[in-house]
């Protein structure tokens, strides 16, 4: 297997992106598209929702070479996980189509792994033991048109749970949660680049 050339990161919101942009010193190429050539990292802010995530992922794939690694980073809700916890997604299911994707995990990590359901609207009631988000299935659908399952991963930070609903999420909290986990994310990215 040849080495991954670049990492393509898709995030939904600017608040999720800012800590990453600052940490990796990413420069804006065009509206909502950032990169650092030396670090081999590209990032796009897709906007909220699976269709936007899919379109942004395809846009990134077409702008970069065909041996890139795709990573979705963002916030998600879960019934009991604590706020700010970092999770690697083991399975993504689209709530509407019921289609599922299974990322292949080729390395060891201590990060907790959990399945996720992508929904069309924010989830207030957590009826399963899955994570909930609004982008991952679109991101996966887009990325898998270009690369195999071992080249597509999804990392989520818990932003809401049974005790603290989505109504309590603030921009500052989002930035803090991602900032607190950025060294773990950076370590994972270095692993991805070795694949």
Residue 1 lies in a domain: no
Q: Mean pLDDT in the chain?
A: 92
Helices (H), the chain: 14-23, 50-63, 136-143, 171-194
- Segment 77-135, tens digit of pLDDT: 999 999 999 999 999 999 999 999 999 877 778 899 999 999 998 877 888 899 999 99
The pLDDT confidence band at residue 178, using thresholds 50, 70 and 90, is very high
Task: Name the pTM for this structure.
Answer: 0.94
In a domain, 20, yes or no: yes
Residue 48 maps to a domain: yes
Structure tokens of 83? 């706020």
Residue 138 counted as domain residue: yes
Residue 29 CA to its chain's centroid (Å): 21
User: From the CB of residue 164, how many other CB atoms can be counted at a distance below 10 Å?
Assistant: 15
Q: Which domain holds residue 91?
A: 6-194
Does the pLDDT of residue 1 top 50, yes or no?
no
Contacts of 114 (CB under 8 A, 6+ apart): 78, 81, 87, 88, 89, 90, 129, 130, 131
Q: Nearest 5°: phi and psi at 171?
A: -55, -45
Looking at the structure of the chain, the number of domains it has is 1
Burial class (CB in 10 A: 0-12, 13-18, 19+), 166: middle
What pLDDT, in 10s, does the model give residues 4-23? 689 999 999 999 999 999 99
pLDDT at 2 exceeding the cut of 60: no
Question: Domain with 164 in it: what CATH number?
Answer: 3.40.50.1580
């Amino acid at each position: 297997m040849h080495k991954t050339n670049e990492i393509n990161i898709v995030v939904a919101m600017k608040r999720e992106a800012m800590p990453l942009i600052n940490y990796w010193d990413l420069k804006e190429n065009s509206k909502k598209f950032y990169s650092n050539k030396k670090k081999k990292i590209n990032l796009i802010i897709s906007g909220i929702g699976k269709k936007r995530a899919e379109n942004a992922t395809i846009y990134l794939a077409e702008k970069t070479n065909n041996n890139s690694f795709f990573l979705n980073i963002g916030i998600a809700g879960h019934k009991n996980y604590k706020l700010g916890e970092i999770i690697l997604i083991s399975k993504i299911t689209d709530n509407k189509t019921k289609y599922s994707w299974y990322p292949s995990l080729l390395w060891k990590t201590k990060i907790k792994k959990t399945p996720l359901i992508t929904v069309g609207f924010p989830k207030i009631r957590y009826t399963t033991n899955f994570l909930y988000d609004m982008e991952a299935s679109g991101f996966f659908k887009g990325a898998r048109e270009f690369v195999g399952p071992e080249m597509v991963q999804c990392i989520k930070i818990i932003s809401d749970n049974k005790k603290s609903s989505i109504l309590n999420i603030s921009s500052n909290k989002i930035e803090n949660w991602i900032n607190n986990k950025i060294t773990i994310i950076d370590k994972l990215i270095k692993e991805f680049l070795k694949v």
